[in-house]
């Protein structure tokens, strides 16, 4: 018997680098995602394959996983994390196929992790709650991929709904779905994959997280979510003050975007998205020149707002734009990136879609 599940990537509307600070985030699930097919293997270990890496096949155990390519550690780590949490000892076969581009800031990793664990949950009738699956997926990324990510990406992949954004309060672990339908006002979400690839395991992400922890410790707080006022940050060293200021102001922007989107004020939403980029560029320092230039090009050619999206240092740009301006904004962004030496960036529109689920018509993929 085999089971196939699908889990989406995500675009975060606003609330970047706030989740691991017990903050607020507002992502949507998108229609790019991962299919994971799982089955029982009569031999020991986990046999893994990927449509994106044809010809590569690994038989994985807990003792050899860290020697594998990065993609294989995500796949095998997700399966191992599920098995340990449920005391399952069967050998497994796992095959994945994804449409989420790697390193684009659209959460390819959470998509893979959630798809695998949802499929295994169905295969072994574990009936785990969605939030538990999200937490297991996050654990797999921490332990086996060495990326100390927050929980936003996995929650977005599990809890996505068509036409709705997810307001996730990490401190209180509260998840609320909110209507998010700019299309009804002639406005849409345009995402540019710049093709500038990042690897969050290379250290900058972990450095930012450590700096946030240092800031909260110096303030005598459990997390930056507990900061009452920007003035409270004045006593911090400059670099930590900048990092903390981004987190505090970004949490405020999340609530402001929720209010503006609820009232249909998409110009205000766009302004807040652009303010988020300024903060990520200047205070959190996770943007790069090429993306800054492309964001400015979008804004100067009629976009309501634009910002870098994801962990930073490359990846994608989120653009809120009136439908009538899609063509001019897209052309301006592409021109900017090409001038900076970036070949073949791609743009596409996204609307909120459904979260991870078992695919009913699973085919005989494993053979």
Q: How confident is the model at residue 367 (pLDDT cuts 50, 70, 90)?
A: low
> How buried is 340 (Cβ within 10 angstroms: 0-12 exposed, 13-18 middle, 19+ buried)?
middle
Which residue is catalytic, options 19, 121, 153, 193?
153
Q: Kindly provide the b/e burial profile for residues 50-81, where b requires at least 16 CB atoms within 10 angstroms of the residue's own CB.
A: beeeeeeebebeeeebeebeebbbbbbbbbbb
Tell me, which fold does domain 2-178+353-359 have in CATH?
Ribosomal Protein S5; domain 2 (3.30.230)
- What was the pLDDT predicted at 137? 98
d(CA 221, CA 331): 46
The confidence band for 363, taking pLDDT boundaries of 50, 70 and 90, is low
Q: How far apart are CA 13 and CA 28, in angstroms?
A: 7
pLDDT tens-digit map of 196-207: 876 554 688 889
pLDDT recorded at residue 1: 87
pLDDT on residue 201: 47
pLDDT at residue number 148: 86
Residue 348 backbone dihedrals phi, psi, to 5 degrees: -155, 160
What pLDDT sits at residue 199?
59
Give per-residue pLDDT as tens, 30-71: 999 999 999 998 888 899 999 999 989 999 888 889 899 989
Spatial distance between the Cα atoms of 350 and 319, rounded to a whole number of angstroms: 10
Q: Higher model confidence: residue 205 or residue 22?
A: 22
User: 2-178+353-359 with 181-202+249-350: one CATH topology?
Assistant: no
Q: What is the pLDDT of residue 31?
A: 95
For residue 112, what pLDDT is reported? Answer: 98
Residues 138-165: tens digit of each pLDDT:
999 999 998 888 999 999 999 999 999 9
Is 153 among the residues known to form the active site?
yes
Checking if the pLDDT of 192 tops 80, the result is yes
Is 92's pLDDT higher than 80?
yes
CA–CA distance, 226 with 207 (Å, rounded to integer): 21
Domain ranges of the chain: 2-178+353-359, 181-202+249-350
- Collapsing DSSP to helix, strand or coil, 65 comes out as helix
pLDDT at residue 210 in the model = 96
pLDDT at 22: 97
pLDDT at 366 over 80: no
- Domain covering 181-202+249-350, topology: Alpha-Beta Plaits (3.30.70)
Range with lowest mean pLDDT among 168-172, 217-221, 363-367: 363-367
With bands split at pLDDT 50, 70 and 90, how would you rate the model's confidence at 361? low
- Residue 203 burial (10 A CB sphere; 0-12, 13-18, 19+): exposed
pLDDT at 317 over 50: yes
DSSP assignment letter at 219: T
Buried b (16+ CB within 10 A) or exposed e, 236-265: beeebbbbbbbbbbbbebbebbbebbeeee
Q: What is the pLDDT of residues 113-140, one digit of tens each?
A: 999 999 999 999 999 999 999 999 999 9
Packing angle, helices 289-300 and 326-339, rounded to 10: 150
CB atoms within 10 A of CB 213: 16
pLDDT band at 365 (very low <50, low <70, confident <90, very high): low
Q: Quick: pLDDT tens for 214-272.
A: 999 999 999 999 999 999 999 999 999 999 999 999 999 999 999 999 999 999 999 99
| Mean pLDDT of all residues belonging to the chain | 94
């Amino acid at each position: 018997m085999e089971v196939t599940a699908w889990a989406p990537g995500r675009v975060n509307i606003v609330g970047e680098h706030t989740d691991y600070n017990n903050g607020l985030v507002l992502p949507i699930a998108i229609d790019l995602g991962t299919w994971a097919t799982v089955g029982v293997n009569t031999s020991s270990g986990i046999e893994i394959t990927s449509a994106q890496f044809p010809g590569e096949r690994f038989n994985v155990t807990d003792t050899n996983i860290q020697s594998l390519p990065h993609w294989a550690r995500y796949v095998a780590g997700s399966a191992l994390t599920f098995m340990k949490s449920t005391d399952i000892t069967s050998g497994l076969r796992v095959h994945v196929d994804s449409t989420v581009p790697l390193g684009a800031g659209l959460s390819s990793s959470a998509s893979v992790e959630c798809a695998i664990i949802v499929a295994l949950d169905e295969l072994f009738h574990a009936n785990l709650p969605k939030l538990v699956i999200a937490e297991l997926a996050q654990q797999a990324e921490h332990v086996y991929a060495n990326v100390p990510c927050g929980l936003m990406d996995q929650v977005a992949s599990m809890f996505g709904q068509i036409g709705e954004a997810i307001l996730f309060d990490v401190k209180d672990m509260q998840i609320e779905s909110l209507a998010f339908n700019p299309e009804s006002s002639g406005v849409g979400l345009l995402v540019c994959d710049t093709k500038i690839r990042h690897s969050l395991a290379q250290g900058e992400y972990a450095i930012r997280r450590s700096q946030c922890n240092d800031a909260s410790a110096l303030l005598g707080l459990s997390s930056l979510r507990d900061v009452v006022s920007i003035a409270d940050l004045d006593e911090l060293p400059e670099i930590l003050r900048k990092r903390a200021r981004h987190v505090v102001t970004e949490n405020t922007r999340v609530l402001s975007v929720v209010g503006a989107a609820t009232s249909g004020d998409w110009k205000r939403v766009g302004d807040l998205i652009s303010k988020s980029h300024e903060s990520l560029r200047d205070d959190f320092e996770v943007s790069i020149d090429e993306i800054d230039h492309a964001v400015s090009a979008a804004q100067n050619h009629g976009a309501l707002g634009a910002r870098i999206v994801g962990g930073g240092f490359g990846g994608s740009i989120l653009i809120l734009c009136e439908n009538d301006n899609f063509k001019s904004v897209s052309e301006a962004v592409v021109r900017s990136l090409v001038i900076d030496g970036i070949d073949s960036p791609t743009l596409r529109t996204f609307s909120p879609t459904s979260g991870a689920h078992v695919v009913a018509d699973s085919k005989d993929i494993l053979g």
